[in-house]
């Protein structure tokens, strides 16, 4: 269990900055539960805090892949797919990813009174608004998106941006004896990469099979010399 103090100070402070200060338009809810309530069916988290307290009433929430199906297990133990569907959409999720529970159960959920068309309409509006704002449905002649091509995907320029973002996002928890930063020109014979995924190069890319930008495991270190 997480205390309210710890929840706001440790876990939600960065989201408050993203939504309240720079008007973030959405987020993906995770598999994790917060005080017994999974993120993707958490009314307090998604509606009361994110949309109401943080001032983003139209923020769209995408479930992580399979998160709705997970509601069939602990700690919710939804009775069946229709109940899992209702729990998620009624409590703040707008788009189901990695599953078909919504597609197969929303109509039944309405018919037996577990949710309503108004709830579905609100989720649909929140989910589609970013597409309209981005100009996805504009005339191609008036949209900058259509000027982009395959050469813009995974380009050297974008790789450099990713690299710089990674550098700026690193957090050094302990710098004993001011070891870092290493002085320019420092040479060393030993690097140690610690953790159970050290030799599993598939984890270097997350679980996405589409874009593989760089190898950062032992193979990448070896290639870098």
Catalytic residues: 64
Give the angle 169-175-179 at the CA atoms, nearest 5°: 110
Half-sphere exposure of 201 toward its Cβ, with a 13 Å CA cutoff? 10
φ/ψ of 189, rounded to 5, equals -100, -10
DSSP 8-state secondary structure symbol assigned to residue 151: G
Nearest residue to 123 via CA among 46, 17, 204: 46
- Tell me whether residue 36 is exposed, middle or buried, using C-beta atoms within 10 angstroms of its C-beta: 0 to 12, 13 to 18, 19 or more: exposed
Write the DSSP assignment of 24-67 as a string of letters: --EEEE-S-EETTEEGGG-HIIIIIIIIIITS-TT-EEEEPTTH
Non-local (6+) Cβ contacts of 220 within 8 A are 204, 214
Write the DSSP assignment of 57-74 as a string of letters: TT-EEEEPTTHHHHTTST
Report long-range pairs for 132-139 (Cβ below 8 Å, ≥24 apart).
133/25
């Amino acid at each position: 269990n997480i205390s309210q103090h710890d929840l706001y100070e440790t876990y939600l402070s960065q989201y408050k900055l993203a939504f309240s200060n720079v008007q973030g338009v959405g987020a993906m809810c995770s598999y994790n539960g917060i005080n017994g309530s999974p993120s993707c069916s958490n009314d307090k988290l998604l509606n009361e805090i994110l949309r109401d307290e943080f001032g983003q009433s139209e923020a769209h929430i995408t479930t992580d892949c399979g998160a709705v199906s997970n509601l069939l297990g602990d700690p919710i133990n939804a009775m069946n797919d229709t109940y899992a569907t209702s729990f998620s959409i009624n409590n703040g999720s707008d788009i189901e990813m990695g599953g078909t529970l919504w597609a197969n159960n929303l109509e039944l959920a309405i018919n037996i009174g577990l949710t309503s068309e108004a709830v579905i309409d609100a989720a649909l509006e929140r989910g589609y608004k970013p597409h309209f704002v981005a100009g996805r449905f504009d005339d191609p002649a008036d949209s900058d998106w259509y000027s982009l091509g395959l050469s813009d995907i995974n380009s050297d320029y974008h790789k450099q941006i990713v690299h710089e973002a990674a550098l700026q996002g690193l957090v050094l928890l302990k710098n004993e004896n001011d070891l870092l930063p290493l002085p320019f020109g420092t040479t060393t014979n030993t690097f140690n990469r610690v953790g159970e995924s050290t030799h599993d190069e598939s984890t270097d890319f997350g679980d996405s099979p589409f874009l593989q930008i760089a190898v950062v495991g032992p193979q990448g270190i070896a290639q870098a010399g």
